[in-house]
Structures are given as structure tokens and as C-alpha cells.
Structure 1
Amino acid sequence: MATLQKIRNRGVFIGIIIGGALLAFIAGDALKSGGSLLANSRNEMAEIAGESINIRDFQKRFNHSVEVAKLMSGQSAIPSDQIERMREQVWQQMVQEIVMNREYDELGISVSSDELFDMVQGRNIDPTIRQLFQNENGTVNPEQIVSTLKQLISAPNGTPQKAYWLNIEEAISNQRTLTKYNSLIQKGLYMPNAIVKDLANRGSKKVDFNYIVKSYNLISDSTVTVSNDEIQSYYNEHQDLFKQTESRRIDYVPFLIEPSTEDYKATEKWVADIKGDFTSEINNIQFVDLNGDTKFNPYYFKKDEIKNKDLQEFSFTGKKGEVFGPYFENETYKLAKISDIKMLPDSVKARHILIRPIKGDMKSAQAKADSLKTLIEKGARFADIAKSNSDDQGSAVNGGDLGWFTQGKMIQEFNDAAFNSKKNEIKVVLTKFGAHVIQVTNLGKKVKKVQLAIIDRKVEASQKTTQAAYAIARTFAGNNQDKDSFFKAISDQKLQRRTANLKRDTKLIPGLENSRDLVRAAFKNDEMESILLNNENSGVFEFGNKFVVAILSDIKAEGYAAVKDVASTIKREIRKDKKAKLIIAELTRDSKGAQSLLSVAQKENLELKNASGISFQSFQIPGAGIEPNVISTASILEKGKLSSPVKGNQGVYVLLVTNTSEDKVTNETINVYKSRLEQGYQYRTNYQSYQALKDNANVVDKRYKFF
């Protein structure tokens, strides 16, 4: 089963293929049971193209993905942040699978068994399979693949490697199907030669020009009136600009859970009471780890590295075993014991040879490191051994040399070995990276350093204090359950009021730890007249060191924003248009009959500016910003001719082209340009075609009900 282990060892690469960004699908027919459970709306987490998706079906698929991830990584548990990413990935894969499978069926696109055979062990082996089975020389032996498949076929159902292989087959099959679909769409794209030639010619021309710009800010907003009828008319004509996704706004009051005076006194007393036991304790590491909030730190401090002046003085005048404190810093009471005193080098220069364990076999790695150590001690050159054996390729090319480094820069085991070695002494040290053969080649000046064993206890709110804060929050929630009383009580009691705008997929409200439950509550409630309730039907939510009482204050449905919600934005655009007309009239008048752009600038008291190397394809004008109207005007303006006023994003411009240059456009240039344009359109098509199908599928996302 060596090849199966190899599959597992290369799990990261395959994970990219299997789980990558909407282009791969996880196999399974868990969704097929969704329709029969349509009536059970409590378990419906989504509707896609009219198909009901049950939370249990989703969870089954998600759990499957988690198990595959564990197999690939060798981990027994997946970190919480990765779990969230995987949950989102599985959702996106489900949506794409349903949406695209409908399209595949309609178009008759599929992958035959013969085609799959060819991708796995035929003449056209898929890159994923090739990566798994390629030898050191980069070739693939089909017999090795066949041998592995025979082992997998004979393995019992549920064997992790067998399930993993089925995932790989499904992934490459789905990827091939998607590739066929994208190719079909892309073959329908056509870029006419005449258009390409015109764009190439436009792009080949570059201009230098002078310009003046009269900013819209020079006209006061108060002098330009905008009526409600104008706002409504603009809204009607530009409604597509005001599309919005569903969102909700909440107002909430945080009630802080802060330690009381009694909590500070109790924490200080606890630390003071343990001082005697700490002083008499021999095993400082164990005592700190068992009693402190922070694990024992083996670091040896120089005098200037201890910022607390009183502790610094104690540490470098006291004796080993003496205890300082209690002292208070960073909301924490502490005791510091002098655990050790040494004369240590300020820095060391070292080299190493790293032997990484194969399949987690640290004993074999250590044995190889020991044998290399023996070779070096018998006269072999360290640098030669490092170059030919070290798995740390970054240092191997330099004979294993790591240069000079100070204490704390390396992983702890490596650090301790280096700083406690004699010059040229060779040691073998084990770290999480493998077995290291270490040799310190030079030592910095030795200085006095102390190792401190520190017992720390952070001051936190006691249960009594927490209950008191909860009682205040509960009383507020109980007495102010409707919108009017909620806001009145905030004002009367001079409480802190905060607002949050939420979307269905909002994971965290700034300032509130793990606040997803509050987001879910906001989207479960359609009433804006009562406070939000948590899963225990209480109006008090707890997030870290805060209790929160919240009310739903606004609902924005998916679709188009109401006129009143975008009136200020519209007013700003209309006002800008009116200012532009006024400025255009002024500049037209002042530039009439003008002999130069400078004379216009002087009349308007404007600065004459210049830009160079601007073409039709330029994205922005240095010093002016993104001004597409100005760029297009400059690219076609006759040299030496004053332009008419041009309405831009920042103001109104007048231009004068001072120089033009043009690169020769050959057939080869046009072909390269065409290829680049087609490639860009193809990339866009892959995304936009799916988005169009997804929009047509009317995806109704109800995940907020469950997580």
C-alpha cells in the first residue's frame, strides 16, 4: 500500500484539484432525496432551480469533505477557521453541481467510461493522476496505477484510501465535463478582424497633451437646487444602478462584563497566597504550567529586555530561587521567580543538516542524523554532507550555514541546543521539522542572562459580577421589548447605542465575539417592533465580555433600493451634472477665439497641467485619476487644436495635444492583439456563463437558519 500512502502524502495538491474555487465537484447523490422532504420546511436550507435542499443532505456531504480533509492532512481534527471555509466551499459546489448538471443534461455533455479509463490509465493520463504516480524522473508507469487500482477494488467499502480515490475520479471527471462545457461556449466567441485592427491602431497611438480642469468643488452645493421630481426621474431612468442584495440593520446595546473591585482584590490575594508554595517549589516548569494562565517560557533575558524596571532590578541583583511580587501589569497579577542564571552568548553562528521524517518515522530520521554526525566527527566536511543530505534546501546550498541569529529566532529545541553548545560542538536535536545535525561555528560575547518562571493570573469578572451584569441586561430587555421603549430607554439611561448592517452571510459583527447567532436571529425575525431573541428565547445575547440586547430596525429586500434610500446619491449626481453644464458654458465662452490653452487657464485662474504617453487603452491620467472621457478625447484630438470642454469625473477639462507618436501595426501585431483579446473574453466567459445560469436558477439561500 506504499502508493496509497503516497496519495495521502500528496493530499495538499489533490485538495486544490478537488476543492478548488467552484471548478471541482464533490461526488455524491445526497441531493436526490431533497424533493421528497420539501414539506419539511424546518429542514430546508436552500432552494436551487426549484429543488429543495435538506440540511441533512448538506451535512452528509460536508461531513464527507471533512473526513477527506482529515485523510489528506493526517490530522484528527480540522481547525475552526478551515471548517468555515470548507462549509462555504461545499455549499458553492452543491449550487454549481445542480445548476450545471441541468445544463449538461440539456446539451448532452458527459464523460464516458472509456474516457475516464483513458484519463486514469490510458494514453492521456490526467495531470492529477500523473502527479500522484510520477517517478523521480517525471515519468508515469501505467502498471503501477493498475496495481494500485486492483488493491483499491479489493479493499472493503469504507476504506479511507478507497473513498479518497473515488473522490479523485469524480473530481477529474467533473473537471473534464466543465472543460467541455467551457470549450463549447468559447468556440462560439468571435472577434472580427476589422474590430481587432481598429483597436490595435487606436492602442498604437500615444499622445502628449496639456490640459486644464475646473473642479466641481469650485461651485458651492447650496447654489445648485435639485427637486424631488428630478430625483424621481433620474431613479426611473437609472434603476439598474440601484440593485441591492438583502440586508438588515440592527440597533443594539452592549452591557460590558467588567471585573469589579472585589474581583481585582480576589485575584491579587490568590497570587499572594500561592507565593509561599512557589518559593519552595523545585520544579518551576511544572508549577507554572499547572497554576499560571501562561505556560512556562524558557527564554533567557538580557537586562534591557525586561521592561518592568523593578523586576529588572530584582532579576539581576537577586539570587536563584527568589520570588518577586505580586506585581500588576496588563490587567494581570504576577509572581516572577529567578529560575536560572547563566552567562550565554548574545548571538551565535551555526549550520545544520535537516533530515525530515518519512511517513512520520522520526526514529529513522534520528538514526540517519546520528550516522551523519558520526561521519562529520570522523573527518567528513560538514558543508559537503549538508549539500548532499539536508532537506532544508535554503541552507543546504550554503553548506547548511544559517548565519548569525539571536536567542528566540529559532524553534525552542533548536534554540536551546545552539545557545548551550560550545564552539564547533556537534549535536543531534529533534524538532517538529525533523532531526537536525547542529554545529555552532562561532559565539558572540557572553553576557549575564536570567530565566524567569512567571505565575500570572488575569483579572476576570467573577460569576457574581457576571450575574449582576446579566441582571441589568435582562431587566433592560424585559422592560423595553418594543421599538419605541427600546430607543427611549437608551436615551433616558444614557446607554451606548450601536448599529450594524448585516447580510445573510455576515460571520462577525465588529466588536462582538462569535456573533453569528445575532445575525441569524436578525434574519429569522421579520418584525421590527420587538427585540431579537436567542435560541433560548431570551432577549439577552452573550458575546465574550458583553451581554447584548438588540432590535431589528430596518429590512432591505433583495431587488431595487427605494428612492428615499438613494436620494442623497442621486442628488449628488444630478448636482454634478448641473455644475458640469455651468462650467462647460463658462469654459466655452472663455476659450472662444483663444490663441492658446494658457490664455484660457489665466482667464479661469486655473493651473496648466500636462500628461504624456496616453493611449486609447490607458486606464488613468497621472495626476488626474480615472478619466475615460478625457482619455478618449485626447486619443482622437487633432494635434494643436483646442478641444471643446469635456465633462470628467472630477471636473470639466479642456485639452490641447502637443505631440503624437504611433507604433507600427503589423499583421503579427494584430494577431498577438487578437489572441490576447480572445483569451481575456474566454476567461470572462467561464465566469459569466455560470453566473447567468445561476441567476436563472433562482437560488434561495436559507443557510442562516442553521449556521
Structure 2
Amino acid sequence: MGMMARMRGLAPAFIITVGALFVLFMVISDSNVLEALGGRTNNVGSVNGEDISYQEFVNAVDQQRENQKKQTGKDVDEESLDQMRDQVWDALVSQKLLAEQIEKFGISVSDDEIKEIILGDNPPEFLKQNFIDSTGNFNRQVYEQALFDTRNKEALLQAEEFVRQNRLNEKLQSLILASVNISEADIRNRFNEQNQKIKAEYLLVDLSIYPDSTVKFDDNDLKKYYNENLDKYKNQAQRKLQYVLFSNNPSADDSATVRQTLETVAEKFKKDTVNFQTYVEIYSTVPYTKDTLALNVLPTGLQSIINKTAAGSVVGPIAAPEGFVLYRYVGTVPTKETLVKASHILINNMGSEEKNRDEANKIYNQLSAGANFEEIAKLRSGDPGSGSKGGDLGWFGKGAMVPEFEKAVFGGPVGVVQKPVKTNYGYHIIKVTGKSNNKYILEKIVNPVQTSATTIDANFNSAQDFAYVAAKNGFEKEAKLMNYVIQESSPFVKEAYSIPGIGVNNNLRDFAFENSLNTVSEVHKVSTGYVVCKISEVINEGAKPFDEVKNSVQAAVIREKKYDMAKSYAIKLKSQLNGDLFKARNLNPKLVVDTTGQFTPNGSIPKIGRDYAFTYAAVKADLNKVTDPVRGFRGQYLIKVSERNQFDSTAYSLQRTSIRDQLYQEKRSMYVNQWLDKLKKDADIEDKRYMFFGR
């Protein structure tokens, strides 16, 4: 592609490649122009009174969707589209809040600044990347020719506006980050965390050496602990929702439409001389293949008729996992692999092996006398999967069944009821109904059954009707009258990402916390269809009653008392050992005495794992002196640090700048995110997207 043509394509290119926060700026700006010219005025929400129009939002989503399609080569599915709408909404809200702050602080960017950025030594990457030659070098001459080519005026104006917006945000960010400071102590602490090497001997009085039965406590201990630790037993505010789901599954009419379409195709093909592959290319959603398949992988509807079908015939449409399929049967090829089709009646629920055997023999005799195999299987078989189908197990090959069963079916004749066969599952009365050593060559036209707009509309109307009468007459009453199934979520908190059983729906979550018990919702769109909900339980914030948490309080009190016992024992041991921890092995074999390998303050401790109390004590302890008891995750430790390297000023000087930069980036990112989160928290943000998209 020529450089000039590439320059004219800059607008979509630079929107794709810039940071997430500002990527939508041009789209947002263009949308406002459209709205000012008389476009759609419906609003999906507002930020501090400034409306976000439906058109503005949809344009931004469409742009982001198109960007992703260009990057991945695939369109966005419905579930991912909901997530993308959330991301775009968040970006739009952030953009408007940042614009407010830019105006508040009087930040501006001059035309000379824009010129310097675009024509400077290091132009923005989104512009520069279009002028990198095959050797990886930036061709400045061609870049400047493209900039000053009058045919690229519109793209250049867009680029200038984008650079201006980006520079405004950079200035705002610099302003809010002016107070971020990295002290020398911060740098030194991080250096020590990464470079200090420690090795220590330790003695562990593990809590597990004290059985629960040896710990003494009474109700006063439990209530005292409960009252002193109420924060541990607090209930967050929670809600539960009852809901009726109107699933957007394909309807019978949707299935019938696909079936009728393929029936028409079949009739047309029978009268045509064009080969079947041409029909596949026109009518199938799946590319053409010619498959050679065994009976056990064919759809059930095809298994039953394939052997009665003439080569070259069209069969179907037949229901299959991928939808409805029209098959052309090309022919058959022999194979060394044998497949069998069999039915069985499993007897395994008579109370004993002897009774199972006797009952199986009794049923075998009835079948030998002419009783109907399928009917008895439905009534008596202990295998619910095949029993409901008259005992039919379908087609299968060797290795699919347990050895005893396999031997019987592959060795038995077709159509004969066999004497009961014993396996680990019980006694089986088997009837082989078919054997095959063939594979079948097939071509196919596949049409998936998809939910039509008509079905979705009907679903939505049903949900709306139910929401209206449920709010008026009662949720349970109307659901019962209409034969709708009521489901209920488990409790969820206001900060929950998704509602159990329903999925991600921010507006429905907000509804649950902004309304009272038994309130019935409007219709809300979810990934599987539509829901109408009722707030079925309100759990208020506060401490759980003592009786409700008594068992967990008791476990905590026992653990605390074990820590006290272990600490007393560790103090006694310290006085006995005179600095030699390994003597403890002779005092009590239940004590753990060992030496760690080298570890750093921010790393895992060999033989112990991560235990911050141990690490902190080892960093602070005097060398070669036993510490006082240190409370760790597993119990009480006595620690004797044997090695700890000295501060290396040379290494510190070499690493200081990179550590400072790393800390600054961490604080910078955290500070900006916290600042933006606070802006959002303090802002008056109205989100009405659910009126258009259900979220």
C-alpha cells in the first residue's frame, strides 16, 4: 500500500492503537456532532448532569467492536458484547470526568505544542508506525510529505485533535501526581526485600501437639472472644432474588423453519443435475467435507435408516447436535472394526447379590416365554439412562463396556436374549440388536437452529406481561397460574460481580439493594434471555447472633488457648536450651527443630513457606541469639538467625534508580486509579443502559 493511502487510513489505525482510557475520544466527539445535528436524543445515562446519548454510546461500542474484529478476525459474541459495553461505558464516564477536571484546573494545550509533538524528533507511535520501512527504520521524509499532503487534511485534523486530547490528559495526570513522592527509606526497604539473604535455625511448638480435648474453656470464654472480635462475625448487607427466567432458546417454530428450508433444498436437489458440493457451498453454514463415519458417531435418526438408503440418495433433514442436517449417502466401505448395538436390563437393587441373581433369572425366563423386552426394561431396569429407552444402549465398539459385558455382546448372536451376566454393576440381561463392520461415506448440509427475532420478541412480551401482573397480584401467585418455574439465587453482596444463577447484571444488582423486600422488578435482559425478579430476602449488615456462630467461636477460642499454651511452653524451652535449639529434640520428639535455607524478606521460607511474622522477626533479630516466642501460622517459633548479609552499598547504588522508577510506577498507577475511583464515587452517575441493553 502506498504511503499516501496509508496516511488516509490513519483515523481508524490510531484509534485502535492508543490507550484504553482515551481510545474513544474521536468517536465520542463525532457522536456529539451528530446529536447536535438532530440525531437520536434518547440517553443511556448521564455524568454530573451531562447526558450520554444512545447514539454516542452505540457509536463508541461499534467502533470498539470494529477494532476488535480487525485485530482478531472474529466478531464479538453476545456475552463478550455485554462486557464490551461495560468497558465502553466506563471509558465514557472516565472521559467526561477527566474533561471536567481539565476545565476545573484551566489546563490547555496550544497549537505550537501540537505541532512540536507531531513534527518533533519522536512523533506519536500511532502516526509513526505507518512509516516504518522493511528494515525497521522510520522514514521521516515520507512521513512529512504525507502530513502536508492536502488530500490528508481531514485525517491530519483528527490526528491533531487526538494528540491535543492526549496531551490534555497527560498534563492533568502530571498535576494530580505532583504529590507522589518516593523516599530514600522506601527505596532502601525495597532493596533489602529483594537482596537481603537470611538463614536461621528454628524451633516450632506446633499447635497440633495439643489435642482439642486438653483445652479448657467455658461459655464466658466464648462470649468474651465473641464480644472482642465482633468484626469477624459481621454480616455484610446481602440480598436474595427469586426469579423467573424466560430463556431465549429456539422455539418449535424456529426449528420448523430450518427443517422446512432443508426439505425444500432436498426437493430442489433431487430435480437438479448440479453436484451436492455446490449445494453445500450455497446452503450450508459448515464448509464442504466428505466424511467416512462409523454408525456410533452418526445421529440416532440417521443410524436407524442408513442401511435402508440407496447410494446417492439424500436423507433428511435429521436433527443433530449442530442443528438440522441434510445428508447425501455416497456409499459404504468395509472396516475391520466391529460395532454392536445392544439393549440390557440391569438388576441391582434387590438388597443382596443372591436376590439380584434370582430376580434376573426370573425376568430372563419371562422374556424367553415371549415378554416384551422394551416394556420390562422401562419398568425394571436399574440403569435409568437406558431403561427409559427400553434398555437401548445404542452402537458401541470394543473398550466401551466392562469386560464381562463386552464378551457377552460381541460373542452373542443378534436378536437373542442372553442369560444374565454378572458385572460389578449387578446382573445384566442382554439382547444384541445389531452388528456392523461398515463405515458410511457422507456429505452434508448443516443449518443450525437459532433463536429468531420473533421468538425473542415473544419472550420479551411474555416477560413484560408477567412483570406487570406479578407486581399487581403477587409474584408466586401469578407464576403458579402461568406455570412458570421460580428459581432463587443464593445471597449476594452489593459489590458482587455477578448474581448467582443469573449472571452479570449491574442494574439488577442495584435494584436488589435499592428496593424493599418483595419488590418485583421490571424485565431485565441476561445472557440467556430475560428475567423478572422479586427481592425474596433482605439480610442487613451487622453482627451475626452469638448462637449462630457459637461453633466457629469455639474453634477460634480453642486455637487461641493453644497459642497461649504453646507460648508458655516456648518460654520454658528458651530458658532450658541456653541458646542451642537442637537440644530440644532430646526433650520432646513432637517439637520441630530445623534450619531454613537462605531466604529473602519478600520470598518464601524453605521448609516453612510464607510466614510474615517469622520473616519480620528474622529481619529484626540479633544474630546468633534466640528470639522470644514468635506467633506464626502453625504455632509458636523460637528463631535463631545464623546468617544475614550486610547492606551492600555498591549494589544499592547500581539498583537505586531502577528501584525508584519501579516504586514510582507502582505508586503512580495506584494513585491515579484511586483518584479516578474517588471521582466516580463522588460523581452523580446515572446508568440507564438497562432500558436499551438489559445491563
Could you tell me how far apart the structure 2 residues matched to 1:198 and 1:471 are? 63
Q: How does 1:673-692 map to 2 (within 5 A)?
A: 673=656, 675-692=658-675
Identify which of 516, 533, 548 aligns with 2:522. Answer: 533
Matched letter for residue 322 of structure 1: S
Return the letter of the residue paired with 1:14: F
- 2:488, 2:165 → 1: CA distance? 47
- 1:612 matches 2:611: no
1:70-126 CA-partner distances (Å, limit 9, x unpaired)? 599789997466765664444334433444445445555432211110111244533
Confirm or deny: 8 A CA contact 2:249 2:451 kept in the other structure.
yes
Which residue does 2:649 correspond to in 1? Answer: 666
Map of 2:25 onto structure 1: 26
Q: Which moved more, 1:306-315 or 1:464-473?
A: 464-473
Per the normalisation by structure 1, the TM-score is: 0.60
Preserved contact between residue 204 and residue 593 of structure 2 (Cα < 8 Å): yes
The Cα shift of 1:252 comes to 1.6
Deviations 1:125-166 (A, max 9, x none): 333322233444523335743554442576xxxxxxx2x544
Which among 189, 194, 204 is matched to residue 196 of structure 2?
A: 204
In structure 2, relative to structure 1, the CA distance for the partners of 1:187 and 1:474 (3 Å cut) is: closer
Provide closer, same or farther for how the CA distance between residues 22 and 489 of structure 1 changes in structure 2, counting only shifts above 3 A.
closer
2:297 counterpart SS class: coil
> Are the counterparts in 2 of residues 44 and 53 from structure 1 also a CA contact under 8 Å?
no
* SS of structure 1 residue aligned to 2:160: helix
With over 3 angstroms needed to count, the CA separation of the structure-2 counterparts of 1:290 and 1:228, relative to structure 1, is farther
Quote the residue 1:250 is aligned against: 241
> What is the match of residue 350 of structure 1?
none
Q: Which stretch shows the higher mean deviation, 205-214 or 517-526?
A: 517-526
Q: Separation in 1 of the partners of 2:141 and 2:543?
A: 68
The answer on whether the counterparts of 2:248 and 2:451 sit within 8 Å (CA) in structure 1 is yes
Within 5 Å, which residues of 2 pair with 1:181-196? 181-183=172-174, 188-193=179-184, 196=187
1:338 aligns with 2:329: yes
Does residue 1:284 correspond to 2:273, yes or no? Answer: no
Query: Could you say if the C-alpha distance between residues 230 and 267 of structure 1 is closer, same or farther in structure 2, counting changes exceeding 3 Å?
Result: same
CA contact (8 A) 1:24 1:174 kept: no
Deviations for 1:671-706, whole angstroms, at most 9, x for unmatched residues? 514531442233322441352254146133322454
Which is further off, 334-343 or 68-77?
68-77
Unaligned stretches of 5+ in structure 1? Answer: 155-161, 344-447, 536-540
The amino acid across from 1:114 in the alignment is D
Q: Deviations over 1:444-497 (max 9, x none)?
A: xxxx9975233567799999999999999999878865898739988xx99552
Q: Counterpart of 1:168?
A: 159
Report the residue type matching 1:588 in the other structure: K
**In structure 2, how many angstroms separate the alpha carbons of the residues matched to 1:494 and 1:69?**
36
8 Å contact kept, 1:120–1:126:
yes
Q: Partner of 2:597: helix, strand, or coil?
A: strand
User: What amino acid sits opposite 2:196 in the alignment?
Assistant: S
8 Å CA contact 1:209, 1:612 repeated in 2: no
Task: Point out the more displaced range, 519-528 or 216-225.
Answer: 216-225
Say which SS state the counterpart of residue 679 (structure 1) adopts.
helix
Q: Which has the larger radius of gyration?
A: 2
Mapped to 2, the partners of 1:465 and 1:84 lie a distance apart of: 21
Q: Relative to 1, partners in 2 of residues 1:223 and 1:26: Cα closer, same or farther, differing over 3 Å? A: farther
CA contact 1:224–1:578 (8 Å) conserved in 2: no
Does the 8 Å contact 2:240/2:535 carry over to 1?
yes
* Percent identity for Structure 1 against Structure 2: 17
| Distance in 2 of aligned mates of 1:218 and 1:12 | 69
Aligned residue number for residue 206 of structure 2:
214
Query: Aligned equivalents of 2:24 and 2:247: distance in 1?
Result: 46
Q: Distance in 1 between matches of 2:56 and 2:247?
A: 39
Aligned partner of 1:654 in structure 2 is 637
2:90 corresponds to which residue?
92
1:553 to 532, 536, 540: 536
1:52 matches 2:37: no
1:300 and 2:290 correspond: yes
Mean Cα deviation higher: 457-466 or 635-644? 457-466
SS at match of 1:55: strand
Which of 599-608 and 167-176 deviates more? 599-608
Q: Secondary structure at the match of 1:613?
A: coil
Contact 1:521 1:532 in 2 (8 A): no
Q: Which of 318, 321, 325 is matched with 2:312 structurally?
A: 321
SS of the residue aligned with 1:675?
A: helix
CA offset digits 1:654-681 (Å, max 9, x no partner): 1434642526603342451453144223
Aligned-partner Cα distance in 2 for 1:140–1:267? 56
TM-score w.r.t. the length of structure 2 is 0.61
Distance apart, 1:637 and its partner CA: 3.2
Task: State the distance in 1 between where 2:77 and 2:253 align.
Answer: 36
For 1:89 and 1:604, locate their aligned partners in 2 and report how far apart those are by CA, in whole Å. Answer: 59
- Work out the CA distance in 2 between the residues paired with 1:597 and 1:613: 18
Q: 2:508 maps to what in 1?
A: 519
Contact between 1:197 and 1:670, CA under 8 Å: does it hold in 2?
no
C-alpha distance in structure 1 between counterparts of 2:646 and 2:530, whole Å: 68
Could you tell me how far apart the structure 2 residues matched to 1:168 and 1:59 are? 23
Q: How does 1:582-661 map to 2 (within 5 A)?
A: 582-591=561-570, 592=572, 593-595=575-577, 603=588, 605=590, 611-618=596-603, 620-621=604-605, 624-638=608-622, 641-648=625-632, 650-657=633-640, 659-661=642-644
Q: 1:276 to 1:89 in 2, by over 3 A?
A: closer
Counterpart residue type for residue 59 of structure 1: Q
Equivalent-residue separation in structure 2 for 1:314 and 1:304 (angstroms): 14
Q: Which moved more, 1:626-635 or 1:524-533?
A: 524-533
Match of 1:120 in 2: 118
Greater shift, 686-695 or 454-463, is seen at 454-463
Question: Does the 8 Å CA contact 1:234/1:570 hold for their aligned counterparts?
Answer: no
From 684, 689, 693, the counterpart of 1:700? 684
Distance (whole Å) between structure 1 residues aligned to residue 567 and residue 648 of structure 2: 37
d(CA) in 1 for partners of 2:138, 2:672: 37
Contact 2:312/2:329 (8 A) holds in 1? yes
Distance 2:631 2:229 in 1: 18
Please state how far the C-alpha of 1:54 moved relative to its aligned partner: 1.0
8 A Cα contact 2:239 2:491, kept in partner: yes
The answer to whether the Cα contact below 8 Å between 1:208 and 1:610 also exists between their aligned partners in 2 is: yes
CA distance in 2, matches of 1:663, 1:474: 73
Query: In 2, Cα distance between the equivalents of 1:278 and 1:2?
Result: 48
Say whether the 8 Å CA contact 1:45–1:54 is kept in structure 2. Answer: yes
Do the aligned residues in 2 keep the contact of 1:316 with 1:450 (CA within 8 Å)?
no
Q: Offset of 1:499 from its aligned partner? A: 0.6
Q: How does 1:127-138 map to 2 (within 5 A)?
A: 127-137=125-135, 138=137
Query: Within 1, Cα distance between the matches of 2:149 and 2:257?
Result: 68
Distance 2:550 2:45 in 1: 40
**Whole-Å separation in 2 of the counterparts to 1:692 and 1:468:** 46
**Equivalents in 1 of 2:216, 2:265: separation in Å?**
71
Answer with 314-323 or 634-643: which moved more. 314-323
Q: Distance in 2 between matches of 1:689 and 1:262?
A: 54
Change (3 A) 1:520 1:499: closer
Matched residue pairs, number? 564
